[in-house]
A and B are shown apart, each in its own frame.
Chain A
Amino acid sequence: MDQEKNKTNMDAPKNDKAYWKKWYVAVIVFLLVQVVLYYLITIHFK
């Protein structure tokens, strides 16, 4: 039980890091998608 508890505590920061990493990647990917989309709109209406 104690071992399991220790394991959970050790995993917490790691999971926290992975959690935020997903957020950061999502923000950057969303920006890239927008830039591509805006480029296509620019070409289309030129």
Chain B
Amino acid sequence: MSTIDWFILAITLSGIIFYGVYKSSHTKNLDGYFLSNTSLPWYMVLLSIMGTQASAITFLSAPGQAYTDGMRFVQYYFGLPLAMVVICIFFVPVFKKLKVYTAYEFLENRFDVKTRTLTSALFLISRGLSTGISIYAPSIILSSLLGWNIYYTNLIMGGLLIIYTMSGGAKAVAYTQKLQLIIIITGMFLAGYMVVKLLPVGMGFTEALQSAGGYGKMNIITDGMQGNHFDWKDKYNIWSGVIGGFFLALSYFGTDQSQVGRYLTAKSDRESKIGLLMNGFIKVPMQFLILLVGVLVFSFYQYHKAPVYFDESKVVIAKNTVYKESLIKIEQQYDAAIAGKDYPQLTQLRNEYKTVLKKAIPGDDANDTNFIFLRFVIDNLPKGLVGLLIAVIFLAAWGSIAAALNALASCTVVDFHKKFINKNCDEQKDYRISKWYTLFWGLFSIVVAMFAHNIGNSLIEAVNILGSLFYGVILGIFLVAFWIKRVKGNAVFIASLLSEVLIIIIFQLNIVSFLWLNVIGALLVILLSLLIESLGLLKNIKFKSA
């Protein structure tokens, strides 16, 4: 990176940290720290919801996903607008009426303490782990760019973020997310514009899409059919997107505290609802445009030499092994195929290169999806814009991680500390302990990030898979709470435990694509709790209440 890139990156990041700390100066109690004194208007709620969902992973992986797999990933978001409607009808009025800090407080009201505690614990496990991956995502950029050790990079990334999250609370999170989103949208728009501008003379936007379409990259709508049969393992098609995506979005926005905590900060349920519904309007087109940048990058590389492998740091490692000669030989064949415009051969050679890399670096899956967009930015965009786009990825990461840390702290304080450890804290002590829990979860996430470097696949998928293991069950508990009045706490508690075990078994057996786990998890909880309640299986069992 040039000096001007470093300057822009440093100014943007330090500006956000100072702004976050400045905004935290009026926060003095639990209401301010976790609910922003329920003072935010709908557009702040909208930006906060979007900033929380759109992590660095979104901007890092999505263009690479479109580059390798086409536009069909957008279908994953089709269930989201429907989920927004359901949440506005059923979830928001209840949460706002009960004036809860966390979504799980409602479960104690409806069932009992143990169900609330179980659900909150499932959230803490899944969100704690996925936040670690969210720290790792921008860290790989730095390590790849500067050759820094990934572990130290994780430490620096997580450390900077904790400064304003710990002192700022929900209000600082929301206000920094507003600034972050403005910078992110500007950066991505400029990136898209630059890709089109860098295309050969006489080739415009439509021609670029035509070119990518010829390679199947404009596969926005797919039906998931394999011959005459529906392929349940097909990850992204209209059915898994609408149905699986609906359940995932319903669980994420309706029961994940990192999102619920955002719209609980609204000054009324009207402001919460408008924020959520506007997200229903904006999310799909926004994701479409981010993926489109990936397709345009693909078109760009039809006319410019694409690297045979996009993560140069791994190539350097692999070339220090006995496989050096094999890699160089494939590189020469790759150059010859480009010179001869033998495009089908290029994909085959890229795959061969990955196979050799896997042998050279045992345990590595040689997936370079996350590096495609970044490599393009560094190699082709002008000075200044590179720094801005690196900042975009950092800010996107910080927006979602900050919200997650705030949510993890609120659940730990409200659902565990104030419930089981110290029930009679005064306001000042509550506020101080909340800061320490934010720090704890920040450090926990950094530790997880240290172990995340061998996840494989795309990072965006890793986070979604992790979420899908828990979200279905959590959603099932909430759906029973809202709609099946005759089911009581003991039945739903046992049903949830059984369902979670079954979901992990189904995942291990690899029977269906991960999006379906959300549907199956929710349905399992509903059916099992109904069965247990109807058969009266627990009538002779007494649970000890807290």
List, in ascending order, chain B residues with CB within 8 A of A24's CB. Answer: 85, 88-89, 277
Determine the residue in chain B with the shortest Cβ distance to A36: B221
Interface centre among B88, B212, B220, B280 (most CB of A within 10 A): B220
CB of B82 within 8 A of CB of A42, answer: no
- A-B pair count, CB < 8 Å, reads 56
List, in ascending order, chain B residues with CB within 8 A of A45's CB. Answer: 209-210, 212-213, 218
Q: How far is the CA of A28 from the CA of B85 in the complex (A)?
A: 8
Question: Does A18 count as interface, using CB distance less than 8 angstroms?
Answer: no
Tell me the chain B residues, 60-93 only, with Cβ under 8 Å from chain A: 74, 78, 81-82, 84-85, 88-89
Contact of B221 among A23, A26, A30, A39 (CB under 8 A): A39
Interface residues as binary, A7-46 with B (CB distance below 8 Å gives 1, 0 otherwise): 0000000000000100110111011001100110110111
Given that A27-B81, A28-B85 are contacting pairs, would A38 and B281 also be in contact in the complex, using a CB cutoff of 8 Å?
Answer: no
We find that the number of chain B residues with CB closer than 8 angstroms to chain A is 26
List, in ascending order, chain A residues with CB within 8 A of B435's CB. Answer: none
Interface residues as binary, B269-308 with A (CB distance below 8 Å gives 1, 0 otherwise): 0000110010011001100100000000000000000000
List, in ascending order, chain B residues with CB within 8 A of A41's CB. Answer: 218, 220
What is the predominant secondary structure among interface residues of chain B facing chain A?
helix
Interface centre among B221, B222, B281 (most CB of A within 10 A): B221
Query: In the complex, how many angstroms separate the beta carbon of B144 from the nearest chain A beta carbon?
Result: 32
Determine the residue in chain B with the shortest Cβ distance to A25: B85
CB of B84 within 8 A of CB of A38, answer: no
Given that A34-B285, A45-B212 are contacting pairs, would A27 and B85 also be in contact in the complex, using a CB cutoff of 8 Å?
Answer: yes
Q: How far is the CA of A36 from the CA of B74 in the complex (A)?
A: 14
Q: How far is the CA of A39 from the CA of B75 in the complex (A)?
A: 11
CB of B74 within 8 A of CB of A38, answer: yes
Contact of B280 among A27, A35, A38, A42 (CB under 8 A): A27
The residues of B with any CB-CB pair to A shorter than 8 Å are 74, 78, 81-82, 84-85, 88-89, 209-210, 212-213, 218-222, 238, 273-274, 277, 280-281, 284-285, 288
Give the top 5 A-B pairs by smallest Cβ distance, nearest first: A45-B213, A45-B218, A38-B220, A27-B280, A31-B81
Contact sample, A vs B, 23 pairs, CB 8 Å cutoff: A23-B277, A27-B84, A27-B277, A28-B81, A30-B280, A30-B281, A31-B78, A31-B280, A31-B284, A34-B284, A34-B285, A35-B78, A35-B221, A39-B220, A39-B221, A42-B218, A42-B220, A42-B221, A42-B222, A45-B209, A45-B210, A45-B212, A45-B218
